[in-house]
């Protein structure tokens, strides 16, 4: 008889919560009880897991009795309040929000990069920001071979990172505009349909957004190297699912695009999709629903010694959120 684990999903009705439950099922994680938790507003709804419909319970401080692992994806304020209750109940929390990520006592884990860190927890393990998770998976093999000195990143991020209502907003705004009407923005600071908004999360003192500073700080923490210089510009574009990234890399030693391609072909969690002669490169619509991060447009940077350019696309709901959290869980129970 194999061990089974009781698992709570906090934020079970959200876009990432739904994906968490789907991936628990897909990957046959040995779940004993699945306990979906959400706000009072969503309590009483049901979620489907394997062949059963399970009623969503209201999240309270007492929700974690008998739970081995809790997967949190209901916003930073909820994690801040309820992770401590879960830890007190003996539950290990895998938190998908930004709240604990930069806490030096909390490991921040992408299993392909720093799986060992997952075991050094004090009850909470943080799951990185979507844009960072897919990036470090692609960078790790390059880092291990020649080191990385600096990164210049521009993102092309989908609306699903902002939740179910943001997906609906892109859909309805696009439909309205095609019919000559205008639908006022609610989920985004400006209309997202047929637009590009260089603003994700709040602005910080230095003119970068929090989203951009997450990429800077989290990349260094996961790679375990504070000397990597990172700059990022994070942009929301009218795509439903998958974030794309234009990544300019300065390596510490010279490496060729051909060698990068070879390394990435052998890397876990990465699929090289790079045959430009046949118009083959990663596209967000094609990566949607896929677990692997796709990398293409790999080329020698003509503007610097020791430079590589690449284009990296990942499903922000999977590798960028739910999949990575489940991979951390798998690492803990393996």
Are 155 and 313 spatial neighbours (Cβ–Cβ below 8 Å)?
A: no
Considering the rule CB under 8 A, would residue 197 count as an interface residue with a second copy?
yes
Q: What is the DSSP string of 167-180?
A: HHHHHHHHHHHHTT
Considering the rule CB under 8 A, would residue 116 count as an interface residue with a second copy?
no
Q: Considering only residues 132 through 191, tell me which ones interact with a second copy, judged by CB under 8 A.
A: 150-152, 154, 156, 170-171, 174-175, 178, 189-191
User: Which CB sits closer to a second copy, 117 or 218?
Assistant: 218
User: Which CB sits closer to a second copy, 143 or 281?
Assistant: 281
Out of 130, 234, 242, 312, pick the active-site residue: 130
Q: What is the DSSP string of 113-152?
A: HHGGGGGG-SSEEEPPPHHHHHHHHHHHHHHHHH-EEEEE
Considering the rule CB under 8 A, would residue 240 count as an interface residue with a second copy?
yes
Task: Please tell me whether residue 92 adopts helix, strand or coil conformation.
Answer: strand
Distance between CA 170 and CA 67 in Å, rounded?
A: 37
Considering the rule CB under 8 A, would residue 103 count as an interface residue with a second copy?
no
Is 190 assigned a catalytic role? no
* String of contacts with a second copy for each residue 119-138, x by CB under 8 A: --------------------
Considering the rule CB under 8 A, would residue 231 count as an interface residue with a second copy?
yes
Distance between CA 129 and CA 134 in Å, rounded?
A: 9
Considering the rule CB under 8 A, would residue 311 count as an interface residue with a second copy?
yes
User: Which CB sits closer to a second copy, 63 or 160?
Assistant: 160
Q: What is the DSSP string of 288-329?
A: TT-SSEEEEEEEE-TTSTTEEEEEEEE-TTIIIIIHHHHHHH
Out of 93, 99, 242, 243, pick the active-site residue: 243
Are 240 and 156 spatial neighbours (Cβ–Cβ below 8 Å)?
A: no
Considering the rule CB under 8 A, would residue 267 count as an interface residue with a second copy?
no
Q: Provide, rounded to whole angstroms, the least separation between the CB of residue 101 and a second copy.
A: 18
Which of 33, 203, 225, 289 forms a contact with a second copy (CB under 8 A)?
203
CA distances for 160 relative to 101, 165, 226, 327, angstroms: 21, 9, 30, 21
User: Which CB sits closer to a second copy, 74 or 242?
Assistant: 242
User: Structure tokens of 296?
Assistant: 């293409």
Considering the rule CB under 8 A, would residue 289 count as an interface residue with a second copy?
no
Distance between CA 191 and CA 182 in Å, rounded?
A: 9
User: Structure tokens of 40?
Assistant: 């009072």
Is 242 assigned a catalytic role? no
Distance between CA 27 and CA 8 in Å, rounded?
A: 17
Which of 22, 101, 140, 299 forms a contact with a second copy (CB under 8 A)?
299
Q: Which stretch binds a second copy (CB under 8 A): 61-69, 109-117, 300-308, 315-323?
A: 300-308
Considering the rule CB under 8 A, would residue 194 count as an interface residue with a second copy?
yes
Distance between CA 4 and CA 34 in Å, rounded?
A: 11
Positions annotated as catalytic residues are 130, 243
Write out the residues near a second copy by the rule CB under 8 A: 150-152, 154, 156, 170-171, 174-175, 178, 189-191, 194-199, 203, 206-208, 216, 229-231, 233, 235, 237-240, 244, 246, 248, 257, 276-277, 279, 281-286, 296-304, 307, 309, 311
């Amino acid at each position: 008889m194999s061990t089974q684990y009781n698992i709570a999903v906090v934020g079970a009705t959200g876009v990432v919560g739904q994906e968490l439950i789907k991936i628990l099922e897909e990957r046959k994680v040995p779940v004993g009880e699945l306990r979906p938790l959400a706000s009072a507003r969503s309590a009483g709804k049901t979620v489907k897991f394997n062949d059963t419909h399970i009623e969503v319970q209201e999240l309270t401080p007492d929700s974690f009795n008998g739970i081995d692992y809790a997967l949190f994806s209901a916003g930073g304020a909820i994690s801040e309040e309820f992770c401590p209750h879960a830890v007190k109940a003996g539950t290990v929390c895998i938190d998908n929000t930004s709240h604990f990520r930069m806490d030096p006592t909390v490991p921040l884990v992408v299993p392909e990069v720093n799986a060992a860190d997952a075991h050094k927890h004090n009850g909470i393990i943080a799951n990185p920001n979507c844009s960072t998770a897919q990036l470090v998976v692609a960078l790790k093999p390059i880092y291990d071979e020649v080191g990385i000195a600096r990164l210049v990143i521009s993102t092309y991020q989908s609306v699903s990172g902002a939740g179910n209502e943001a997906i609906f907003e892109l859909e309805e705004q696009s439909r309205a505009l095609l019919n000559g009407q205008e639908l006022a923005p609610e989920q985004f600071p400006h209309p997202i349909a047929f637009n590009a908004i260089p603003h994700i999360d709040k602005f910080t003192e230095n003119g970068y957004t929090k989203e951009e500073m997450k990429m800077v700080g989290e990349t260094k923490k996961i790679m375990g190297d504070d000397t990597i210089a990172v700059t990022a510009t994070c942009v929301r574009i009218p795509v439903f699912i998958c974030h794309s990234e234009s990544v300019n890399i300065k390596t510490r030693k010279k490496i060729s695009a051909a060698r990068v391609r070879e390394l990435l072909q052998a890397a876990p969690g990465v699929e090289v999709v790079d045959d430009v002669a046949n118009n083959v490169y990663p596209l967000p619509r094609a990566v949607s629903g896929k677990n692997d991060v796709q990398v293409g447009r790999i080329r020698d940077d003509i503007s610097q010694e020791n430079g590589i350019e690449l284009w990296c696309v990942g499903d922000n709901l999977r590798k960028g959120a739910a999949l990575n959290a489940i991979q951390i869980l798998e690492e803990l129970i393996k």
